[in-house]
Amino acid sequence: MKALCHLTLLLCVTLPFFALPAGAVFLDERLEDPAQEARARDISGDIRCLVCQNQSILDSNADLAQDLRQIVRERITLGDSDAEVRDYLVRRYGDWVLLDPPFKMTTYLLWIGPAVIFLIGALLMILFLRGRSGQNETATTTVLTREEQAELDRLFDSDGPGDRS
Amino acid sequence: MQLRFLVPVLTFVAIAVVMWYALFNLNPTEIPSELVSKAAPEFSLEAVPGYGPGLAKSDLATGKVVLLNVFASWCVACMVEHPFFMELREQDTVDIYGLNYKDTPTAAAEWLQRHGNPYKRTGMDLKGRVGIDFGVYGVPETFVIGPDGTILDKVIGPLTRPMFDMRIRPLLKGAES
């Protein structure tokens, strides 16, 4: 009974985080043709809202996002391909409007930066660990005393019939 | 010399400097304009009633550097920069053209009557489409337009005197010489 209580509580607390993104579909803006509508939503989902920055224009209810959604739908009904619609917006707002920016000269740092930082980190860590294990070797190889060596020899000899050469 | 302990300290300092700079000197809400050094987009708009003969792309290529200010009567930040524009107009420093963004004709006319008209010509972008062609994503924005109608720069947010002196005055001088 207590376990059930805990479970319910846990669900109540965590459920909001599992809720699916509402996808804020603004119904009054829909296109007649379901295929075109699907394309419009697909494109809008990849266009970054300039006002709320980390939302796509599909999710944002900013005024500008609404205008841009309408433009996306207009371009589609005018017969633009997906790439042409994106181009139309990029010409006005730059690569910045794409949530998935293309790989080119001005954005290469954005794309390979994390990998470069990771590699530098890995290199430094390898160097650091190498240096440390080197230190350990010199620290532990102390010469055995005569008694210790004798003891060691005795142990080895008693171990087998002496086939060590 | 055992200076290896300095490595993490220096790493921290380097990161702190970069972050400090980014925190106070970079503004994430300022997106650089894609249209800089490109020709202004094609447009033709009617004037705010009573304020000039309307505004089109051809009006911007005047043979000198001019400003195109995007404003609206509903825009609070526009009132911040407005007195400065009035001053520029009085001193005849630079011609300013007004792009009235997503406003109503009556509200825009009333606003200009109340606060004064610094603009040489005005155009009403009722649906905001011309604004989008210009890459406008908030009001106010001020474009610096070159003698041949190319966009030289864009200032996002209210235009202040220091910003004018730093970014626009050199362009005005550059065009004179």
Please report the pLDDT score of residue A17 as a whole number. 59
Mean pLDDT of B38-48: 93
**Calpha distance B137→A94 (Å, rounded):** 12
**Calpha distance B83→B89 (Å, rounded):** 10
What is the band of A101 on the pLDDT scale with cuts at 50, 70, 90? confident
| CB burial string B91-112: b at 16+ within 10 A, e below | eeebbbbbbbbbbeeeebbebb
Q: Which residue in chain A has the smallest CA separation from B135? A: A92
**For residue A140, how far is the Cα from the chain centroid?**
43
Instruction: With residue A116 as reference, give the H or E element that holds it.
Output: helix A108-140
Mean pLDDT of A63-91: 92
Q: What digits encode the pLDDT tens for the residues A8-17?
A: 766 666 655 5
Same domain? A87 vs A35: yes
CB contact under 8 A, A50 and B134: no
Q: Whole-number mean pLDDT of chain A?
A: 81
Smallest CA–CA separation between A150 and chain B, in Å? 40
Same domain? A32 vs A61: yes
Same domain? A72 vs A140: no
Structure tokens, A83: 């790439």
The total number of structural domains in chain A stands at 2
Same domain? A88 vs A47: yes
Checking if the pLDDT of A68 tops 50, the result is yes
Same domain? A30 vs A80: yes
CB contact under 8 A, A92 and B135: yes
Dihedral angle over CA of A109, B156, B120, B59, nearest 10: 20
Please report the pLDDT score of residue B44 as a whole number. 94
Checking if the pLDDT of B48 tops 70, the result is yes
Show residues of chain B in contact with A93, CB under 8 Å: 31, 34, 135, 137
Interface of A with B in 43-62 (CB under 8 A): 50-51, 53
Interface of B with A in 116-175 (CB under 8 A): 127-129, 132-135, 137-138
Checking if the pLDDT of A7 tops 80, the result is no
Please report the pLDDT score of residue B80 as a whole number. 94
Q: A72, A97, A122: which is the final residue of a domain?
A: A97
Mean pLDDT of B147-162: 93
Same domain? A93 vs A114: no
Q: Which residue in chain B has the smallest CA separation from A90? A: B34
Please report the pLDDT score of residue A28 as a whole number. 67
Checking if the pLDDT of A18 tops 60, the result is no
Same domain? A47 vs A73: yes
Q: What digits encode the pLDDT tens for the residues A108-153?
A: 888 899 999 999 999 999 998 988 776 655 556 677 888 888 888 8
| Residue ranges making up the domain that contains A25 | 21-97
Residue type, A103: F
A90: contact with B, CB 8 A cutoff = yes
What is the band of A22 on the pLDDT scale with cuts at 50, 70, 90? very low
Checking if the pLDDT of B90 tops 50, the result is yes
CB contact under 8 A, B28 and A53: yes
Same domain? A43 vs A80: yes
Smallest CA–CA separation between A34 and chain B, in Å? 26
Listed residue (B126, B121, B113, B163) closest to B142, CA to CA? B163
**For residue A162, how far is the Cα from the chain centroid?**
61
Show residues of chain B in contact with A51, CB under 8 Å: 137-138
What is the band of A48 on the pLDDT scale with cuts at 50, 70, 90? very high
A164: contact with B, CB 8 A cutoff = no
Checking if the pLDDT of B57 tops 90, the result is yes
Dihedral angle over CA of A131, A137, A138, A139, nearest 10: 100
| CB burial string B113-132: b at 16+ within 10 A, e below | eebebbbbbbbbbeebbbbb
Checking if the pLDDT of A25 tops 60, the result is no
Q: How many CB atoms lie within 10 A of CB B163?
A: 16
Structure tokens, B111: 């606003």
What is the band of B134 on the pLDDT scale with cuts at 50, 70, 90? very high
CB contact under 8 A, B132 and A63: no
Could you give the domains of chain B? 34-176 (3.40.30.10)
Mean pLDDT of A24-39: 77
Please report the pLDDT score of residue A106 as a whole number. 78
Strand B96-101 relative to strand B121-125: parallel, antiparallel, unpaired? parallel
Checking if the pLDDT of A27 tops 80, the result is no
Checking if the pLDDT of A49 tops 70, the result is yes
CA atoms within 13 A on the CB side of B62: 18
Q: Whole-number mean pLDDT of chain B?
A: 92
Please report the pLDDT score of residue A143 as a whole number. 79
Same domain? A70 vs A25: yes
Smallest CA–CA separation between A64 and chain B, in Å? 7
Q: In DSSP terms, which residues pair with B154 in a beta bridge?
A: B143
- For residues A20 and B165, which has the higher predicted lDDT (pLDDT)? B165
Cis previous bond, B28, omega within 30: no
Same domain? A89 vs A120: no
Q: What digits encode the pLDDT tens for the residues B120-131?
A: 999 999 999 999
Same domain? A71 vs A123: no
Q: Tokens 């994503």 label which residue?
A: B137
